[in-house]
Structure 1
Amino acid sequence: MIGGAAGSAAADAPTGQPVRPAAASAEVPAGVSAGVAVFDRQTGTFTEQLNTSTRFRSASVVKLLLALDYLWNRGPDYTVPAADRAWLEPMLRGSDDDAASAYWSDHGGTAIITRMVDRLGLKDTAPPPTGYEGYWGYTALSARDTVTIYRYLLDSAPGPVRDFMMGNLRQSTRCASDGFDQHFGIAGAFDKPWAVKQGWSGSSYEKGTCGQKRTATASVARAGSPAADVDLTRPALHSTGTVGAGDRSIVAVFTLHPVGTSYGKAYTDIGRLTRSLNVPGATRSAGWWYGTWSDHVNVRPDPGTGNSPITQLPAGVEVLVGCQAKGEVVNVPPYTNEWWAYLPQYNGWISNIYINSPDNKMPDVKDC
């Protein structure tokens, strides 16, 4: 069975790619605009800098600033009450939009951003443009300002604030509150330990593929919005956080994609860009990268269809394959395949029928 012949969504995805052992500099996929910064906290130097001052609409990355605004000046021994954990934790771990919208409306909206710019000395960050004050996801943010935010968290914030924020970012859920798979970029390129806050915004992104399926409203771009110096139209996908033992590297990857780009394509492209980066302290996931085809492919707990799926893949996304094994025969006319691919990052299996490979069995992937 030739997987690539069954759908055009992954027509430009490569066949199996061995994981790169290292990288020299950022490799930006065709058609993608990017701002990238990687800061090595051990040496105090940047290992990657690309368009670091370019301003992007933040999407959900701004939730870092909302949480910090809440925690500011609450004392060195402050403990977050249970009632506030109930909205802060879902906002940081699952990128909950309702929590962010409630805090935005109740605590001054754009004034939150102004406060945090002054407190942290941010250079490029700015509130949403005139006429869009209610859209917290339209806050302007750059890669270098994002590094500043994480450096404050790790090196200057009171211990309880650091532990609360970073502890929640380490518990980022694969399924976000709006149903999108948010383990792209940093979370897909490197093994743990990592801590991430991701962002996505685009009217062309299909509904989420895991958990509950609803479309986020607060951070979705509207076609025709006035761009000023921040693009509010092209689909955005951002990955920010820390990588390695002791949070050695701070990584900020901001990307914009051509209008109409699917979520799976953007997910794949930011993954390729992030994997190309020089990130000190990072451990790169072992396996082979393969493209997939079809919509909402089920990831199963074992190589068969008898048990309920763990989750579903974004359409046409590239996945890391750890090994393959024979399992239940799957028929998707005109194709039939008994081989299954193990996806270590999902701890689950998909039928090889959905893998872009020249044969039923991938030629370079080891048996499980």
Structure 2
Amino acid sequence: MHITLTMALLAAPVSAAAPVPAPTASYAVYDRITHQVTGRDVHKPIRSASLVKILIAIEQLETRGDDPRIEPMLRVSDDNAASELWVENGWEQLVVRTAERLKLEDTRPPEKRGMWGYTAVSASDVVKIYRYVLEEAKPKVRHTIMGHLQRAEKCASDGFDQSFGLPSATWKPAFKQGWSGFGDPTKPCVDRPRPRVQWDLDTKSPALHTSGTCWFSIVAVLTLHPEGTTYEKAAKRVTRLTEEVTKYRC
């Protein structure tokens, strides 16, 4: 009986392959003239990847003062600088304090205190972070952060090309990108990429984000992609979406 059942199962037609999961995206665009926000799933929580580095910079500047590590952390998204400042500013409590101070609704610290890139954020909160820097932070804080983001470089310290999204879709933005789960870059854009933090090698739901300012808008585009998606493919998707949401704005 068991043999008959097994043969019947083997002879049965193979079902069609399951459809490949589609990437998911949430975004928010804030118009600094009309003060209106447009977007999709603006409160959807998603891991921040390197976008949390803006919160690290805010906390460092507002409580401990300027630090030379802020420049590489923001301009070339240097993970080593971020990790050091994260620890020195209280680990996950940095997120708790800044979320309360900036009145962020969806931002939560990572479950494992050392994994700063797993801080939860939303497109709405990313916009609020930029609004705080531009509208409420002291001039020294604003000029330092926005100055570095305006001079963000094409190539990140870990060898990834960070010119996707806003830098490709808009003119002269100040921007901060985030990526996680893509392994090592297949074609590093620097000769000797700096090693990334170990947890960033996770390959589940690769994340790719673009955020920043262009003209009179603040933009946050947060995306998750099916496992196995290449960085290059995800970058093209994010750039196309950014072009759509910033059309006639930037």
> Structures share a fold, TM > 0.5?
yes
Q: How does 1:315-330 map to 2 (within 5 A)?
A: none
**Counterpart for residue 126 of structure 2:** 146
Cα distance between partner residues in 2 of 1:171 and 1:219: 28
For structure 2, which runs of at least 5 residues remain unmatched after alignment? 1-20
| Aligned residues of 1:205 and 1:261 also touching (Cα < 8 A) | no
**Counterpart for residue 180 of structure 2:** 201
Letter aligned with residue 95 of structure 1: S
Cα distance between partner residues in 2 of 1:218 and 1:148: 29
Identify if the C-alpha distance between structure 1 residues 170 and 219 changes in structure 2 by more than 3 Å, giving closer, same or farther.
farther
Identify if the C-alpha distance between structure 1 residues 218 and 35 changes in structure 2 by more than 3 Å, giving closer, same or farther.
farther
| Aligned residues of 1:201 and 1:235 also touching (Cα < 8 A) | yes
Decide which of 210, 213, 223 is 1:239's aligned counterpart: 210
What's the % identity of the aligned pairs?
45
Asked if 1:34 is matched to 2:2, the reply is no
Q: How does 1:158-173 map to 2 (within 5 A)?
A: 158-173=138-153
**Counterpart for residue 48 of structure 2:** 58
Q: Deviations over 1:311-338 (max 9, x none)?
A: xxxxxxxxxxxxxxxxxxxxxxxxxxxx
- Shift of residue 220, structure 1, vs aligned partner: 1.2
| Aligned residues of 2:183 and 2:200 also touching (Cα < 8 A) | no
| Aligned residues of 2:165 and 2:235 also touching (Cα < 8 A) | yes
Q: How does 1:1-368 map to 2 (within 5 A)?
A: 31-46=22-37, 48-73=38-63, 80=66, 84-85=67-68, 87-129=69-111, 132-192=112-172, 194-204=173-183, 206-207=185-186, 209-211=188-190, 212-217=192-197, 220-222=200-202, 233-244=204-215, 248-279=216-247, 281-282=249-250
Letter aligned with residue 125 of structure 2: D
Three-state SS of the structure 2 residue aligned to 1:177 is coil
| Aligned residues of 1:207 and 1:214 also touching (Cα < 8 A) | no
Q: Deviations over 1:204-256 (max 9, x none)?
A: 55345201335522561525xxxxxxxxx200000000001xxx100000000
Identify if the C-alpha distance between structure 1 residues 206 and 176 changes in structure 2 by more than 3 Å, giving closer, same or farther.
closer
- Shift of residue 278, structure 1, vs aligned partner: 3.8
**Counterpart for residue 308 of structure 1:** none
**Counterpart for residue 315 of structure 1:** none
- Shift of residue 73, structure 1, vs aligned partner: 4.8
Identify if the C-alpha distance between structure 1 residues 218 and 70 changes in structure 2 by more than 3 Å, giving closer, same or farther.
farther
Cα distance between partner residues in 1 of 2:40 and 2:223: 11
Q: Deviations over 1:65-97 (max 9, x none)?
A: 0000011156xxx7x3xxx22x11000100000
**Counterpart for residue 358 of structure 1:** none
Letter aligned with residue 239 of structure 1: T
Q: Deviations over 1:30-62 (max 9, x none)?
A: 81101100000011112x310100011100000
Cα distance between partner residues in 2 of 1:148 and 1:249: 12
Three-state SS of the structure 1 residue aligned to 2:223 is strand
| Aligned residues of 2:160 and 2:185 also touching (Cα < 8 A) | no
Cα distance between partner residues in 1 of 2:146 and 2:166: 15
Q: Identify, as 1 or 2, the structure richer in helix.
A: 2
Cα distance between partner residues in 1 of 2:222 and 2:199: 15
Three-state SS of the structure 1 residue aligned to 2:185 is coil
- Post-superposition, which runs of at least 4 consecutive aligned residues in structure 1 deviate over 4 A? none
Cα distance between partner residues in 1 of 2:247 and 2:129: 18
- Shift of residue 199, structure 1, vs aligned partner: 0.3
Letter aligned with residue 70 of structure 2: L
For structure 1, which runs of at least 5 residues remain unmatched after alignment? 1-29, 224-232, 283-368
